[in-house]
Amino acid sequence: MSILLGSIADDYTGASDLANTLTKNGLSTVQTVGIPDPSLPLPDVDAVVVSLKIRSVVADEAVVAASRAEQWLRDRGAAHVLYKICSTFDSTDAGNIGPVTEALRDAAGGGVVLVTPAFPETGRTVYLGHLFVNGQPLDESPLKDHPLNPMRDANLMRVLARQSRGPIGLIDLATVATGPAAVRARIEALRAEGATAAIADAIFERDLEILGEALLDAPVSTGASGLGLGLARALVGSGRVPSRVDTTADAVRPVGGHAAVVAGSCSSATLRQLAIAEQAMPVLRLDPERLLTAAPDEISAALSWAGERMETGPIIIAASTTPDAVSDLQSRYGREISGRAIEAATATIAAELVARGVRRLIVAGGETSGATVDRLGIPAFLIGPEIAPGVPVLRTIGNSQGEMLMALKSGNFGGDDFFATALAMMR
Ligand SMILES: Nc1ncnc2c1ncn2[C@@H]1O[C@H](COP(=O)(O)OP(=O)(O)OP(=O)(O)O)[C@@H](O)[C@H]1O
Ligand SMILES: O=C(O)[C@@H](O)C(=O)CO
C-alpha cells in the first residue's frame, strides 16, 4: 500500500471527521486505530488517518506516539503528514499541539509548520490568528466550559506559543487571499525570522483550497478537517490522485443486530440532541456520581434497563449533563478522576451492549469514543456516507465481534436530530 497523504489524529472522533472530509473531497481513505498490526487487511487507499488518543495525555507521551505514527505513514509513502487537531483547538497550556507540531517539524528537517483549525462547514473560522466558533470568539463560546480543557483564550498565536519552544507567526487573511505563492513567500519570511509554526487565517473554503495548494510540496501541517479539505482538493486538482471506485456505499451495507447510542459528551450540541431524541426513543440518564462511587451497580442497572428495551428499537444511555453539574462533580472528585471514571463506565456499558447483540453503535464525545473503541478492540474503519458535517458512518474492520456500523460524534457536531438521522442510515 502506497499512500499520498498521511494523518495523525489526536482523538478518534477527530480522525473520523477528517477521514470523512478526505473521502468527500476525492481521496479514498481508511481510519486505523493506532498503528495497525501488519496482518490487518487494509484496502489500497490514497490516505490513511491514524487515530491516537493523545489530546489530553502528557506532552512527552503524545510526542512519542505521534512520532511512531509518522514513521509508519512515511514508510508507506506519505509525502505529507497532517497532524489533525480539534477545530476548537482543544488543549491546555501544557497541551500537545505545540510539542507534536514541533516534533513533526524537526523530523521533517525544520521550517515553519502551517497551523489552522479553521473548518467553515462547522462554523470554525480564523481571522488575524483568532478562532471563532459559530461567530463567537473561542473564549466566549461554549468551549470556555469544556470539562477537560476549558478554552479561555481566542488568540491562537498566544495559545500555541504557550505550548511551543519557538516563536509563532501569522499568515494573515490578506496574504492567504493573494494566493498559494504569497502564502509560501510568507512562510519563507517567517522561517528567516526564526518561527517554527504559523497560524493561518481562513474563513471560507476557498482560503483552505489556497492553503492546500501552498502546502502541496510541504512535508507537514497541523490543522482540522478544513485543512484536510484544502489538501485533498489540491491533491486531486494537481492530478496526483489515481481514480478509484467509490467505496462509501459498500461501507454502509446493513449489519442487522440491535442499535444503541452511548453519550459521554457534555457539549451543548449533544445536550440538545439528547433532549430532542428523548421525545422519540428511550433515554436512560446515568447518575454520574454513582458512576464514581458505585460503578458496578450503576452499570448493571443500566444494562438491565437496556435489555428490556433494545429488542424493540434503538436506545440511548447518557452520562451527559449541564456545565454546572459537571463543575459541581469535578469540584468534589477532581476533573481528571471524574472524567476518566465516567469514560471507563460508558465504555463498559457500550462493550456489554455489543456483547448482548448491538451491532449499530453511536458514541457521542471524543474521549468517550476513544475509550469505547479501545474497549471493543476495533483496529480500523472503512468510511461510509456522511451523517452530518464531520461525522461519517463507519464500518469496522478486523474486530472480534464481526462487522459493525458505528458513528463517533464529536461533542459539538451534528444537527438537533442527529441521533435519528444517524440511526436511519445504519441498518
Ligand atoms: N455527568 C458528567 N460529569 C462530569 N464529567 C462527565 C459527565 N459525563 C461525562 N463526563 C466526562 O466529560 C468528558 C467529555 O469528553 P468527551 O471528549 O467525551 O466529549 P466532548 O468533549 O463533548 O467531545 P469532543 O472532545 O469530541 O468535543 C469525558 O471525560 C466524560 O467522561
Ligand atoms: O475538529 C473537530 O472539531 C473534531 O473533529 C474533533 O476533533 C472533536 O473531538
Question: What single-letter DSSP state applies at residue 149?
Answer: -
State whether 265 and 371 are in the same domain. yes
Mean pLDDT of the chain: 96
Point out the domain boundary residue: 237, 271, 289: 237
Q: Quick check: pTM over 0.90?
A: yes
pLDDT for residue 143: 86
Overall size of the chain counted in residues:
427
What percent of the chain is modeled with pLDDT above 90? 92
Please tell me whether the interface predicted TM-score (ipTM) of this complex is above 0.95: yes
Ligand 2 centre and the CA of 310: distance in Å?
A: 30
* CA 233 to centroid of ligand 1, rounded, Å: 33
Which of 16, 51, 87, 266 best tests ligand 2's pocket when mutated (most atoms within 8 Å of CB)? 87
Q: Which domain holds residue 309?
A: 249-425
Query: DSSP 3-state assignment of 361?
Result: strand
* H helix or E strand, kind and range, residue 227: helix 225-237
Are 214 and 270 in a shared domain?
Answer: no
Q: How far is CA 169 from the centre of its chain?
A: 25
In this prediction, residue 149 carries a pLDDT of 84
pLDDT digits 0-9 by tens, 98-149:
999 999 999 999 999 999 999 999 999 999 999 999 999 999 998 888 877 8
**Residue 397, by phi and psi: left (phi above 0), alpha (psi -120 to 50) or beta?**
beta
**Could you tell me if residue 372 is inside a domain?**
yes
Query: For residue range 292-336, what is the model confidence (pLDDT) as tens digits?
Result: 999 999 999 999 999 989 999 999 999 999 999 999 999 999 999
Look up the CATH number of the domain holding residue 137. Answer: 3.40.50.10840
pLDDT at position 92: 84
Whole-number pLDDT of residue 1: 65
Instruction: Look at residues 237, 268, 291 and tell me which one is the last residue of a structural domain.
Output: 237
Of the residues 197, 215, 237, which one is the last residue of a structural domain?
237
| pLDDT tens readout for residues 208-245 | 999 999 999 999 999 999 999 999 999 999 999 887 77
Question: Other C-beta atoms within 10 Å of 311: how many?
Answer: 10
Read off the pLDDT of residues 370-425 as tens digits, 9 standing for 90 and up: 999 999 999 999 999 999 999 999 999 999 999 999 999 999 899 999 999 999 99
* CB of 411 sitting under 6 A from ligand 1: yes
Q: 276 with 217, same domain?
A: no
Domain for residue 244, yes or no?
no
The answer on 300 and 180 residing in a single domain is no
Confidence tier at 11 by pLDDT (50, 70, 90): very high
Q: Tabulate helix, strand, coil % of the chain (nearest 5).
A: 45, 20, 35
CA distances to 105, 129, 207, 232, 264 from 180, in Å: 20, 18, 10, 15, 41
**Domain count within the chain:** 2
Exposed e or buried b per residue across 327-353, where buried means at least 16 C-beta atoms within 10 angstroms of its C-beta: eebbeebebeebbebbbebbbbbbbbb
- Distance of CA 224 from the midpoint of ligand 2 (Å): 7
Q: Which atom of ligand 2 is nearest to the CA of 10?
A: 7
The ligand that comes nearest to the alpha carbon of residue 390 is: 2
Report residue 189 as a C-alpha cell.
519570511
Average pLDDT for 25-30: 95
Residues 255 and 116 occupy one common structural domain: no
Q: How confident is the model at residue 364 (pLDDT cuts 50, 70, 90)?
A: very high
Residue 150 has pLDDT above 90, yes or no: no
Looking at the structure, tell me whether residues 91 and 229 fall in a common domain.
yes
338 lines ligand 1 (CB under 6 A): yes
Domain-located, residue 242: no
**Grid coordinates belonging to 45:** 487507499
Residues 75 and 191 in one domain: yes
Percentage of the chain beyond pLDDT 70 is 100
Pocket test for ligand 1, best of 367, 374, 418 (most atoms within 8 A of CB): 367
